[in-house]
């Protein structure tokens, strides 16, 4: 497992080095497709981590609503691995519908709602170091302090994290930060879009982030081997059981679910990095 991790890191760094190179070239080579509208936000990340979203296509202008375009952002996801990604997407889709969902349905049937919520809080609390460390690394010390306080309060008064006492009684809300966002904060673009088996939509940057995150979650240090994976699976099943069919909803309405989810994910992550 450790070897695999190192191998992946090396591979990912190698590829992201290449991608970094491609990044600087990309705007020139792709900015002019036939509509003149393609703007690679992912490729256009400058050193400060700001995406210079190249001016919106002026042809969006129209006589009726000339102003509607001025806050538009073009979003085109760099997806050179699309054929492979679509394969993994298909795999995850089947996994979700034929394994995860039925299990989650049975789970929801036997588990009382408050307990599911408690388990969700519990795992979220164990992931506190991810948020504390990454808020700190981005210089967001107030958020880091907020997460540290939340961890202290919820672990003690919240009985090992089963209750989100910090939110319910002290009005301290969770600030989501992770390694992918930290890397983005320091100007590293997402690189190619990547669908990970089991974990879903990601990118080269966020994939590396995910690996780093998994080493900051306390679950990793509390249990090992089978117990660790049991904990991971329980967390996932619990999460799906609590979810209100988000994936089904999105999939049902989208003309091409792969594209829709890919673009939603890219926007979601970009927004997370910026905030």
37 lies in the site for another protein, by CB under 8 A: yes
CB of 130 to another protein, least distance (A): 16
242 lies in the site for another protein, by CB under 8 A: yes
68 lies in the site for another protein, by CB under 8 A: yes
Nearer to another protein, 105 or 215 (CB): 105
Build a one-symbol-per-residue string for 110-139: x at contacts with another protein by CB under 8 A, - elsewhere: ---x---x--x-------------------
Nearer to another protein, 26 or 211 (CB): 26
263 lies in the site for another protein, by CB under 8 A: yes
CA distance 22 to 16: 9
For residue 218, give both structure tokens. 């306390």
Nearer to another protein, 33 or 52 (CB): 33
Nearer to another protein, 12 or 181 (CB): 181
171 lies in the site for another protein, by CB under 8 A: no
Judged by CB under 8 A, the residue of 3, 34, 83, 110 near another protein is: 34
Q: Give the 3-state secondary structure of the chain.
A: CHHHHHHHHHHHHHHHHHHHHHHHHHHHHHCCCCCCCCCCCCCCECCCCCECCCCCCHHHCCCCCHHHHCCCCCCCCCCCCHHHHHHHHHHHHHHHHHHHHHHHHHHHHHCCHHHHHHHHHHHHHHCHHHHHHHHHHCCCHHHHHHHHHHHHHHHHCCCCCCCCHHHHHHCCCCCCCCHHHHHHHCCCCCCCEEEECCCEEEEHHHHHHHHHHHCCCCHHHHCCHHHHHHHHHHHHHHHHHHCCCHHHHHHHHCCCHHHHHHHHHHHHHHHHHHC
CB of 41 to another protein, least distance (A): 10
CA distance 180 to 219: 19
Judged by CB under 8 A, the residue of 22, 69, 137, 228 near another protein is: 69
Judged by CB under 8 A, the residue of 6, 62, 224, 226 near another protein is: 62
CB 207 within 8 A of CB 175: no
Judged by CB under 8 A, the residue of 17, 36, 80, 160 near another protein is: 36
Q: Binding segment for another protein among 1-9, 20-28, 101-109, 250-258 (CB under 8 A)?
A: 250-258
Q: Binding segment for another protein among 13-21, 198-206, 218-226, 245-253 (CB under 8 A)?
A: 245-253
List 195's β-bridge partners, or say none.
201
CB of 225 to another protein, least distance (A): 29
Place of tokens 């958020």: 143
Which stretches of the chain bind another protein, using CB under 8 A?
33-37, 57, 59-60, 62, 64-65, 67-69, 71-77, 113, 117, 120, 173, 242, 244-246, 249-250, 252-256, 259-260, 263-264, 267-268, 270-272, 275
């Amino acid at each position: 497992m450790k070897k695999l991790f190192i191998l992946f890191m090396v591979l990912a760094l190698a590829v992201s080095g290449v991608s970094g190179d491609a990044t600087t070239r990309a705007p020139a080579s792709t900015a002019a497709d036939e509509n003149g509208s393609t703007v690679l936000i992912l490729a256009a990340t400058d050193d400060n981590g700001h995406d210079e979203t190249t001016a919106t296509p002026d042809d969006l202008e129209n006589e009726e609503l000339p102003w509607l375009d001025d806050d538009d952002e073009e979003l085109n996801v760099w997806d050179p691995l699309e054929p492979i990604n679509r394969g993994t997407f298909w795999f995850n889709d089947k996994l979700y519908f034929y394994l995860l969902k039925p299990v989650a349905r049975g789970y929801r049937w036997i588990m009382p709602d408050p307990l599911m919520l408690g388990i969700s809080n519990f795992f979220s609390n164990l992931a506190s170091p991810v948020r504390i460390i990454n808020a700190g690394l981005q210089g967001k010390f107030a958020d880091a302090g907020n997460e540290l306080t939340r961890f202290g309060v919820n672990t003690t008064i919240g009985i090992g994290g089963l209750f989100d006492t910090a939110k319910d009684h002290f009005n301290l809300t969770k600030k989501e930060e992770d390694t992918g966002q930290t890397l983005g904060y320091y100007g590293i673009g997402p690189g190619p879009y990547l669908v990970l088996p089991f974990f879903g939509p990601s990118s080269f940057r966020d994939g590396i982030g995910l690996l780093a995150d998994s080493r900051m979650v306390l679950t990793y240090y509390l249990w090992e081997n089978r117990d660790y994976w049991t904990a991971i699976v329980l967390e996932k099943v619990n999460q799906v059981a609590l979810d209100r069919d988000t994936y089904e909803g999105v999939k049902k309405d989208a003309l091409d679910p792969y594209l829709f989810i890919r673009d939603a994910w890219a926007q979601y992550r970009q927004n997370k990095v910026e905030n």
